[in-house]
Amino acid sequence: MRNILLSMALIAATACETDSYDTGTGKYSYTRADFAEAHTDGKCIIKDVETDDGIRLSLYPEAAPKWTNRPDTVYRALMYYNDKGGGSVEPISISPVPVLTPRPEHEFEDRHTDPVRFESIWLSKSGKYINIGLYLKNGTTDSGSERHTLGMMRETTTVNDDLTRTARLRLYHDQGGVPEYYSSRYYVSIPCDGIDTDSVTISINTYEGMSEHKIKIPDRMK
């Protein structure tokens, strides 16, 4: 179960799908927000990232967040930054984005589908990831040990009338005893490089009922 589920104290995201925003004339007036692959060096320091637009950016100053604990590793991240020009950027914040690799349904001991509030879903411009924005209910307890657990279950594969193939995926979510006092926004990403079908249909259990979304997988990723 440890290899297919992410049990974590999730870091709430404050960005949206929009690539950039203008807040006026202050220090962060032209701060951008991008989803990216962050590359660590031998000392777990992030020196550069590649955005979902396929643009490689060099960080100045370099970043060493606490969650990058493995050297020479690629992490999925959401980064706020100021563009300094010439491919150099000043990072404002870098947050990890959980990557949910689809696994066969039978590998899940319990198939929790506790509800979430769905916000958005889209294919990254690079075609490497399907991004999902959602809200989870949160709260604190005396122990502080409660955690949300997320995963992506692959249920079936169907052949369509045009002979294309679609994989049916379902979001695994275990509320894990976390109190439901307020909602916080999060993002997760599904890697496309391990999906061998022409499209996927992703089912997400929400407080309003089941939500289904079909995404075409780019040919280069299959």
Predicted confidence (pLDDT) per residue in 30-39, tens digit: 789 999 999 9
Confidence of residue 1 (pLDDT cuts 50, 70, 90): very low
State the Cα angle at 63 between 59 and 66, rounded to 5°: 155
Domain ranges of the chain: 32-96, 99-221
Report the alpha-carbon distance of residue 155 to residue 102 in Å, rounded.
Answer: 9
Q: What is the pLDDT of residues 154-211, one digit of tens each?
A: 999 999 999 999 999 999 999 989 999 999 999 999 999 989 999 999 999 999 999 9
Predicted TM-score of the model (pTM): 0.85
- Return the CATH number of the domain spanning residue range 99-221: 2.60.40.2370
- Return the CATH number of the domain spanning residue range 32-96: 2.40.50.500
